[in-house]
Amino acid sequence: MKKTIFTGAGVAIVTPFNSDLSVNYDKLGELIEYQIANGTDAIIICGTTGEASTLTDDEHREEIKFAVDKVAGRVPVIAGTGSNDTAYSIELTRYAKEVGADASLNVTPYYNKTTQRGLIKHFTAIADAVDLPMILYNVPGRTGMTITPDTYKELSKHPNIVATKEASGNLADVVRIKYLCGDDLDIYSGEDGLITPMLSLGAKGVISVLSNIKPRETHNICEEYFRGNVEASADLQIKHSNLVDALFCETNPIPVKAAMNILGFDVGECRLPLYEMSETNLAKLKAAIDEVK
């Protein structure tokens, strides 16, 4: 059986920017401390929510190292190192291992995409090149392609491919993945609106956007379930459903950064092409925040 990287709620942490849109490392350090103090079980740095797609190569590497150094072993640090260029993914993943990340998060190749056979070759090449636990990331809404259950079965045979962040929203596929892969592949929910349902299908937790503003509550959705308090977990899931909907009413991380600024975290704007929320959706977000204060 492969070693589980973490159980519970890992935060897909935002990248805070200064007014000139440079990375605000002082603020990033504050956010990491806030997350750990409030029960977050892992820090996922330079993922979708961290705006990795608009970070320079130097910024991407610096953020990974900064997070590893700041966390200092208190919780696992998972570095987003995915790319649509296999060679570059290998290079970034190798760097993440060198600076002490506990695992990598590797998304399916976007834009150029590939076949299922190509996916197996892509992820296997990274896993062969770097002896670091890998979490696959299946988010077809972002990439235009999905990892099929049969492809998951093949990938789960590799000792370094240990888990997946499943953000397809397809619970029937999750059932099939669990059936085919068993203990060879841990599953994390990539959907904040499906944490409790995913846990009921054997998921180990969630890689969460919601955790940026509700770390303790997101952790508790998982913790209550693991303690056998399924109803309490479901109640927390349902209580935050309007907030989760509001956090995804525009492209992530536009709403979550807006929410954090409303709450006083001062994380700055998103980099273009992501742009500020519409007034209608901002009002919806504010109402959802007020509902669960």
What number of other Cβ atoms are within 10 A of residue 280's Cβ?
Answer: 9
pTM above 0.95, yes or no: yes
What pLDDT was estimated at residue 293? 83
178 has catalytic annotation: no
Residues of the chain with pLDDT under 70: none
Which one of the listed residues 65, 70, 165, 204 is annotated catalytic? 165
**Strand partners for 207:** 10
Domains in the chain and their CATH numbers? Answer: 8-230 (3.20.20.70)
What pLDDT was estimated at residue 84? 95
What pLDDT was estimated at residue 60? 98
Which one of the listed residues 95, 97, 137, 257 is annotated catalytic? 137
165 has catalytic annotation: yes
What pLDDT was estimated at residue 225? 98
What is each CA distance from 290 to 7, 127, 259, 262, 282, in whole angstroms? Answer: 29, 44, 11, 11, 12
Give the burial string for 185-216 (b: 16+ CB within 10 Å, else e).
Answer: bbbbbbbbbbbbebbeeebbbbbbbbbbbbbe
